[in-house]
Amino acid sequence: MLNKYARAFFTRVLTPFAAFLIRRGVSPDAVTLIGTAGVVAGALVFYPMGEFFWGTVVITLFVFSDLVDGNMARQLGRSSRWGAFLDSTLDRVADGAIFGGFILWYAGGGDDLVLCAVSIFCLASGQVVSYTKARGESIGLPVAVNGLVERAERLVISLVAAGLAGLHAFGVPGIQYLLPVALWIVAVGSLVTLIQRVVTVRRESAEAEAEAAAQGEQDDGDEQQNASHGSEAAT
């Protein structure tokens, strides 16, 4: 849902900024690298200290680079395989840093091994969810399903909850429980999404194999028919 609607909205909003960077001679790859570095720094510096509000502010400032770099590439007409590869690879790095920050907090100052384990599951399942789609497409399947919780949903749920939970340091009572709830939601949603994609790949694989088998039988029949016509002509 977020990929379908929110991405289009923010793309329109960020287009003037992307054009400004182009005029300044900034490349899309530079924006990708700087954005990822900012997200990693915000997550791994602030989150392990329990500074969720300021960490989320820093991350939010840089996370939109994921939309800006693609916008710049389209304006420049430079969309390339390398750009897509770099963007996807660094997205995984950013995701790992965000959930890694949660893991370090709950393994340290947060002192909650259950939530540490949930954060680890969110990190691992998010990577596997992305891999299932990429691997399915690499073997020629469309993987025609998005799933319940994709990367955009994982980030929005986690970052919004973390930012609000950080308001506890400013005296807002009870709000710190939003982050644990969000992590459980992301964990369950990621598991459901993983199952959806695995089931889809299995179905599409079976359909592709059945279609290939039917095509093979048809080709064999055509060859036999051609051979029969050839024998009749020779006679």
230 within domain boundaries: no
- Render pLDDT for 81-102 as a digit per residue (tens, 0 to 9): 888 899 889 999 999 999 999 9
| Residue 43 to residue 158: CA distance in whole angstroms | 12
Length of the chain as a residue count: 235
Question: 72, 21 in Cβ contact below 8 A?
Answer: yes
Which residues are identified as catalytic?
A: 91
Find out whether 74 is annotated in a ligand binding site: yes
Judge whether 50 is annotated as a binding position: no
In a domain, residue 195? The reply is yes
Domain that holds residue 187: 1-224
Alpha carbons 200 and 179: distance in angstroms, whole number: 31
Range from 60-69, 140-149, 159-168, 225-234 carrying the lowest mean pLDDT? 225-234
Q: How many domains does the chain have?
A: 1
Burial class (CB in 10 A: 0-12, 13-18, 19+), 16: exposed
In a domain, 232, yes or no: no
Rounded CA separation 54/43 (Å): 10
Identify whether 104 is part of a domain: yes
pLDDT in tens, 15-39: 899 899 999 999 999 999 999 999 9
Residue 137 counted as domain residue:
yes
Query: Is residue 234 assigned to a domain?
Result: no
**CATH number for the domain including 125?**
1.20.120.1760
List alpha helices for 113-177, DSSP H: 113-138, 151-165
181 is in an annotated binding site: no
